[in-house]
Structure 1
Amino acid sequence: MSVPTNTPGDRGASEASVSSPPAEPRFVDSVSLIAGREITMRLRSKAFLISTGVLMLAVLASVVLGSLFGGQSDPTKVAVVGSAAESVAGNEALEAVPVDDEAAGEQLLRDGEVDAIVVPDASDPLGITVIGLDQTPNGVVGALSVRPSVELLEPAAVDPGLAYLVAFGFGIVFFMSALTFGTTIAQSVVEEKQTRVVEILLSTVSARALLTGKVIGNSVLAFGQILAIAVLAIAGLMLTGQKVLLGGLGSSVIWFVVFFAIGFVMLAALFAATAAMVSRSEDIGSVTTPVTMLVMIPYFLVVFFFDDPTVLTIMSYVPFSAPVGMPVRIFLGQAEWWEPIVSLVILVATTAIAVAIGERIYRNSLLRTGARVPLAEALRG
Structure 2
Amino acid sequence: MTASAPSFAQSVWLVAEREIGSKLRSKAFVISTGILFVIALAGVVWGGFAAQQDMRTPVAVTGQTAQIVAPLDGMLDITEVGSAEEARELVRDGEVDAALIPGGEGGFDFTVVGDDAVPSTLMSALSVSPPVELLQTESDDADGLMRYIISLLFGAVFLMAATTFGSTISQSVVEEKATRVVELLISAVPTRALLAGKVIGNTVLAMGQIIGLAAVAVVGLTVTGQAELLSGLGAPLVWFAVFFLFGFILLASLFAAAAAMVSRQEDIGSTTTPLTLLVMVPYFVAIFFNDNPTIMTIMSYVPFSAPVGMPVRIFFGDAQWWEPLLSLVILLATCVGAIWVGAKIYENSILRMGARVHLKEALKG
Question: Taking structure 2 as the reference length, what is the TM-score of the superposition?
Answer: 0.83
Alignment match of 2:87 (pick from 89, 105, 108): 105
Aligned Cα root-mean-square deviation (Å):
3.3
Call closer, same or farther: CA 1:78–1:66 in 2, change over 3 Å.
Answer: same
Deviation at 1:153, TM superposition (A): 5.9
In the alignment, is residue 136 of structure 1 matched against residue 118 of structure 2?
yes
Gaps of 5+ in 1: 1-17
Call closer, same or farther: CA 1:350–1:264 in 2, change over 3 Å.
Answer: same
Task: Give the structure 2 partner of residue 272 of structure 1.
Answer: 256
In the alignment, is residue 150 of structure 1 matched against residue 133 of structure 2?
yes
Alignment match of 1:177 (pick from 145, 151, 161): 161
What amino acid does structure 2 have at the position aligned with 1:35?
A
Alignment match of 1:31 (pick from 12, 21, 40): 12
Call closer, same or farther: CA 1:268–1:314 in 2, change over 3 Å.
Answer: same
Deviation at 1:156, TM superposition (A): 3.2
Call closer, same or farther: CA 1:48–1:365 in 2, change over 3 Å.
Answer: same
Call closer, same or farther: CA 1:121–1:100 in 2, change over 3 Å.
Answer: same
Structure 2 matches for 1:345-360, cutoff 5 A?
345-360=329-344
Gaps of 5+ in 2: none
What amino acid does structure 1 have at the position aligned with 2:33?
T
Q: Give the SS at the match of 2:188.
A: coil
Call closer, same or farther: CA 1:62–1:309 in 2, change over 3 Å.
Answer: farther
2 CA distance for matches of 1:195 and 1:217? 21
1 CA distance for matches of 2:241 and 2:132? 42
2 CA distance for matches of 1:151 and 1:70? 24
Contact 1:157 1:333 in 2 (8 A): no
What amino acid does structure 2 have at the position aligned with 1:110?
R
Deviation at 1:27, TM superposition (A): 3.1
Call closer, same or farther: CA 1:359–1:114 in 2, change over 3 Å.
Answer: same
Moved more, 203-212 or 264-273: 203-212
What amino acid does structure 1 have at the position aligned with 2:283?
Y
Task: Give the structure 2 partner of residue 168 of structure 1.
Answer: 152
Alignment match of 1:340 (pick from 321, 324, 349): 324
**What is the total number of aligned residue pairs between the two structures?**
362
Task: Give the structure 1 partner of residue 276 of structure 2.
Answer: 292
Contact 2:250 2:339 in 1 (8 A): yes
Task: Give the structure 2 partner of residue 13 of structure 1.
Answer: none
- Pick the structure with greater CA Rg: 1
Moved more, 178-187 or 145-154: 145-154
Q: Give the SS at the match of 1:78.
A: strand
Call closer, same or farther: CA 1:137–1:152 in 2, change over 3 Å.
Answer: same
Task: Give the structure 1 partner of residue 201 of structure 2.
Answer: 217
Task: Give the structure 2 partner of residue 228 of structure 1.
Answer: 212
Moved more, 72-81 or 282-291: 72-81
Q: Give the SS at the match of 1:203.
A: helix
What amino acid does structure 2 have at the position aligned with 1:368?
R
Call closer, same or farther: CA 1:143–1:240 in 2, change over 3 Å.
Answer: farther
Deviation at 1:157, TM superposition (A): 5.5
Q: Give the SS at the match of 2:60.
A: strand
Contact 2:253 2:339 in 1 (8 A): yes
1 CA distance for matches of 2:220 and 2:149? 15
Structure 2 matches for 1:244-255, cutoff 5 A?
251-255=235-239
Task: Give the structure 2 partner of residue 86 of structure 1.
Answer: 67
2 CA distance for matches of 1:247 and 1:158? 18
Structure 2 matches for 1:365-376, cutoff 5 A?
365-376=349-360
Deviation digits for residues 278-334 of structure 1 (CA, Å, limit 9, x no counterpart): 333333222222222211222233333334333222222111112222334445554
Contact 1:262 1:348 in 2 (8 A): yes
In the alignment, is residue 319 of structure 1 matched against residue 300 of structure 2?
no
Deviation at 1:271, TM superposition (A): 0.8
Deviation at 1:166, TM superposition (A): 4.0
